Structure 1
Amino acid sequence: MIEEATLDSRASVTIAEKSPAKVQGKISKVKSIVAITVGNGLEFFEFTSYSFFAIIIGKLFFPAEGDIAQLLMITATFGIGFIARPVGGLFLGLYADRAGRKAAMTLTLSLMAIGSAIILLAPPYAYIGVAAPVLIVLARLIQGFALGGEIGASTSLLMEYADNNSRGFYGGLQLLSQNASALAGSLLGLTLTTFLSTESLESWGWRLPFAIGLLMGPLGVFIRRNLHETLDHEAQEEAKSKSTKQAIGTIFSEQWRVILAGIAIVSAGTSAVYISMYYMPTYAKILHFPMTTGLLASCVATGAASIFAPICGMIADRVGRKKMLIMIVTVQMIVACPAFMIINSHPSLPLFLTVVGALALLATLIGVLMTVFITEMFPKHIRATGISIVYCVGVSLFGGFAPFISTLLIQLSGSNLAPSWYLIFCCVLCLSAVPFLVEKNGKSLD
């Protein structure tokens, strides 16, 4: 009888494991992950499309004497979008920790669409004078504010779906969504540049990515409507127990060491991403390549990053994320200067694309590890806010202005190798913060 009961018990467990409810739960989880990553990708597509048409936008909206002067204005305006990201990250992060991840993500999609609409409809400088660059700057500020809130909410939600031993893989999915959106933007830019005349590209072609982004906004809201909220009632009530002022004060007074360490960790990954993936269309002009070469380089970089991001995450889950971070950042620091020396001494298309792809792969590895570490740093009731602050400040300081700083360093030094110096500086800063990291392999995020 005891044996029969045991067999019945095992049978019931097996049936339960294969029950429709459990299968349906797995399907629901997959749908949720797709909804998070697709929505996140849509927002990054809208935000990063600017970089692929920065040269044309600069010509139409920021007239200046000399190529370098115009490049500085273009890259500065690209960086302006990052000024608002820490502000958006703070306030929308607090909103995500109180109202829920879903509510914050819906709001950020709407704000991003508004920014795209302004860029889409803005008349150039020749028609409305100084109001033209003002509109572009306003749009970039709105987009930056929105994306600042998106990253904390979506990363928190995505990583809270992961189990204790798969956070690297889920971090890779976050990078996959961002890089795939940049790949879509660079492919669209390459297609338009190849098949449209210069006149058509400058009159209406450059606006097409922003029109697509605007039209895709409602799709993002739609696919996120049935997401399962991971912010439990207890964490939500704990976040609501303090006023906004008290919550901000508590985060900075109690978590300032964690915040500084997180920003330093972010510096290496974000500087590499924005130089290898978004600055290359501009840097190609410095090397006297045509615009199509720069866009092709971005396609190679973002394509490689999209493919390898989840793979890198899975490897990190098994090897150990802290050990892997030290190794990859050290490699990037060593190869940065030789990489730029090679493409300057032998400026051929195959070599240029190879170097850009290699730098992008290193950037992806660091980005995946960075995403996991900054998620593990904060408890659930302040996680969205903490991630937003660390990520947005780090990206704003070291990523968004990386094209501007690189161009400025080139102008001041007269050396085309200057971007590599900036990468090396960020790598040193990142490694200095590694001793403050605590790896939570196999430990719950709660």
Structure 2
Amino acid sequence: MGFSIDTTGAATPAHTRSTARGIDLRVIAVATIGNALEWFDFTVFTFFAAVIAKQFFPSENPTAALLATWTTFGVGFLTRPLGGILLGNYADRHGRKAALLITIFVMALGVAVITLAPTYAQIGLAAPVLMLVGRFLQGFSAGGEVGSATAFLVEHAPVERRGVYGSFQMIAQACAMLLGATVSVAITQMLTPDQISAFGWRIPFAIGLLIVPVGLYVRSRLDESPVFSDARHETRAKRSPFLESLVSHWRQVLAGFGLTVYGTIGTYLFYYYMPSYATRSLGVSFQSAVIASLCAALAYIVGTLASGRISDAVGRKKPMVASALISLIVAYPLFRLVSAVPTLPVLIFVQCCLMLSLGLFQGAYCAFVCELFPARVRATSLAIGYNFAVMIFGGFAGAIATLLIGWTGDKLSVVYYGLFGAAVGLITLLFLKDRSRQPLL
């Protein structure tokens, strides 16, 4: 059972056939640098969520302030679908390269607003408003980034290496997580709590801004995707990519949505929410929670790269199905273990197991989703499914997890959210065909 795009009468472009060339690091750098900036900022935001809560959302109830901060984090995801539709449509009409230059510029504006925003004590209610503006700009840019960058990356890959190329999009995320966690550890070790509250939390965001000039330079120097160039010359769009995505490719868009549900819930719950969960619900120190996250990011990188290589050898579905099944089996016992024994070694073990399993899914994800769509709508269609799933299930994952614990009084209630995501991913995979050895269209 399954479905795939219509390939009737389609030619096989020369650049999609098997080749012997190695991995083009320039392509990987261009496609992943914006995504890396996005996830670096998201990582440090989550690690300093409690500090930001005090600076921008003062409240007599610490839980209410933290919930307001997580909601602000999630609100930025509301603009992701809009950015995905507008910038994805632009990428499918005018090219991936042009869209990628826009996304990194807008993202820089969002990061700058967050970095420089005065606190509530300085300007009152305007402070949380500025924080919201920064997150909205970040969300809009990130929404357009994922479709354009992923299409650009996979379309440059030889047919037998699309999984490996696509995996670098997720590896870049993991490296950004690792760098963000490393910077967070360094700041907590070098500065006092008062210094962190006063200015220390802004340092990581300022570091992120340094990536922008590099990103603009490398993205302006590389050629357009060969698959997109061929498609633009061979076909002329009869309707906008957005409308065609909804009318002709809605099944594939729903498939991308379903696959993203597991990936995004797993990422935000198993990695981003864990430091807050470990410190507030389990009583683990902040430094220990960050160290565990460093180890988890390394495990995620290993799993993701392995998955990309495996998917090129045996197909995309096998590692992705294995990942979902493993999560369904081990997630609850692992959460129960760390709840019963909340020590640093156990937290490292639990988080590494969860992220290693998730990496097996994510490493094959980018190539798998790109292979669902033709080039003329690829960036838009991918962005629609991805961004709506991330908006609904990822952006508010921290707030949902906090509410689940508050409503039930059960520290283990958050794991059911992760099990739901794994189940959705597994069911979606059962209805899809594997196109890993077929040419991109």
How many correspondences in the alignment? 421
1:128 aligns with 2:123: yes
1:235 aligns with 2:231: yes
1:254 aligns with 2:253: no
Q: 2:385 aligns with which of 379, 384, 390?
A: 390
Report Cα offsets for 1:63-117 as digits up to 9, x if no partner: 2232322232122111112111111111110111112111111111111110111
Tell me the distance in 1 between the aligned counterparts of 2:352 and 2:186: 20
Displacement of 1:238 after TM fit?
A: 7.8
Give TM-score scaled by structure 1 length. 0.90
Report Cα offsets for 1:166-192 as digits up to 9, x if no partner: 222112111111110111111101110
* 2:170 counterpart letter in structure 1: L
What SS class does the counterpart of residue 417 from structure 1 fall into? helix
Displacement of 1:154 after TM fit?
A: 0.9
Q: Which residue of 2 aligns with 1:17?
A: none
Tell me the distance in 2 between the aligned counterparts of 1:133 and 1:398: 23
1:271 aligns with 2:265: yes
* 2:385 counterpart letter in structure 1: V
1:431 aligns with 2:426: yes
Q: Does the CA-based 8 Å contact 2:241-2:380 persist in structure 1?
A: no
1:400 aligns with 2:395: yes
Q: Which residue of 2 aligns with 1:12?
A: none
Give the stretch that moved more between structures: 268-277 or 179-188. Answer: 268-277
Displacement of 1:307 after TM fit?
A: 3.4
Structure 1 residues 73 and 442 mapped into 2: Cα distance closer, same or farther (>3 Å)? same
Structure 1 residues 240 and 213 mapped into 2: Cα distance closer, same or farther (>3 Å)? farther
Tell me the distance in 2 between the aligned counterparts of 1:333 and 1:71: 29
Structure 1 residues 238 and 142 mapped into 2: Cα distance closer, same or farther (>3 Å)? farther
Tell me the distance in 1 between the aligned counterparts of 2:287 and 2:55: 19
Q: Does the CA-based 8 Å contact 2:310-2:319 persist in structure 1?
A: no
Tell me the distance in 1 between the aligned counterparts of 2:306 and 2:318: 17
Report Cα offsets for 1:191-228 as digits up to 9, x if no partner: 10111001111111100111111222111111222212
1:443 aligns with 2:438: yes
Report Cα offsets for 1:32-79 as digits up to 9, x if no partner: 223323343233323433122111111110122323222321221111
Structure 1 residues 431 and 309 mapped into 2: Cα distance closer, same or farther (>3 Å)? closer
Q: Which residue of 2 aligns with 1:188?
A: 183
Q: Does the CA-based 8 Å contact 2:371-2:436 persist in structure 1?
A: no
Q: Does the CA-based 8 Å contact 1:55-1:71 persist in structure 2?
A: yes
1:219 aligns with 2:214: yes
1:67 aligns with 2:66: no
Q: Rg: which structure is higher?
A: 1
* 2:243 counterpart letter in structure 1: G
* 1:137 counterpart letter in structure 2: L
Q: Does the CA-based 8 Å contact 2:43-2:181 persist in structure 1?
A: no
Displacement of 1:234 after TM fit?
A: 5.1
Q: Which residue of 2 aligns with 1:40?
A: 35
Q: Which residue of 2 aligns with 1:8?
A: none
Q: 2:113 aligns with which of 102, 108, 118?
A: 118
Report Cα offsets for 1:284-303 as digits up to 9, x if no partner: 22212222122222211212
Q: 1:289 aligns with which of 260, 267, 284?
A: 284
Tell me the distance in 2 between the aligned counterparts of 1:206 and 1:41: 19
Displacement of 1:134 after TM fit?
A: 0.8
Q: Does the CA-based 8 Å contact 2:91-2:98 persist in structure 1?
A: yes
* 1:254 counterpart letter in structure 2: S
Tell me the distance in 1 between the aligned counterparts of 2:345 and 2:87: 43
* 1:434 counterpart letter in structure 2: L
Q: Which residue of 2 aligns with 1:305?
A: 300
Give the stretch that moved more between structures: 315-324 or 434-443. Answer: 315-324
Report Cα offsets for 1:19-41 as digits up to 9, x if no partner: xxx99x868x3322233233432
Tell me the distance in 2 between the aligned counterparts of 1:108 and 1:32: 17
Tell me the distance in 2 between the aligned counterparts of 1:118 and 1:189: 20
Report Cα offsets for 1:114-168 as digits up to 9, x if no partner: 0111111111111111111111111101001101111111100110122222222
Tell me the distance in 2 between the aligned counterparts of 1:247 and 1:163: 25
Q: 1:336 aligns with which of 327, 331, 339?
A: 331
Return 5+ residue gaps in structure 1 as ranges.
1-21
* 2:256 counterpart letter in structure 1: G
Tell me the distance in 1 between the aligned counterparts of 2:435 and 2:402: 39
Tell me the distance in 1 between the aligned counterparts of 2:417 and 2:174: 22
Return 5+ residue gaps in structure 2 as ranges.
1-18
Report Cα offsets for 1:298-344 as digits up to 9, x if no partner: 21121222233222210222233213222220110111111111111
Q: Which residue of 1 aligns with 2:10?
A: none
Tell me the distance in 2 between the aligned counterparts of 1:304 and 1:291: 20
Give the stretch that moved more between structures: 328-337 or 302-311. Answer: 302-311
Tell me the distance in 2 between the aligned counterparts of 1:151 and 1:40: 7
Query: What pairs with 1:45-56 in structure 2 (closer than 5 Å)?
Result: 45-56=40-51
Structure 1 residues 265 and 26 mapped into 2: Cα distance closer, same or farther (>3 Å)? closer
- Which has the larger helix fraction? 1
Quote the RMSD (CA, aligned, Å).
2.0
1:210 aligns with 2:205: yes
Q: 1:379 aligns with which of 374, 379, 382?
A: 374
Displacement of 1:378 after TM fit?
A: 0.7
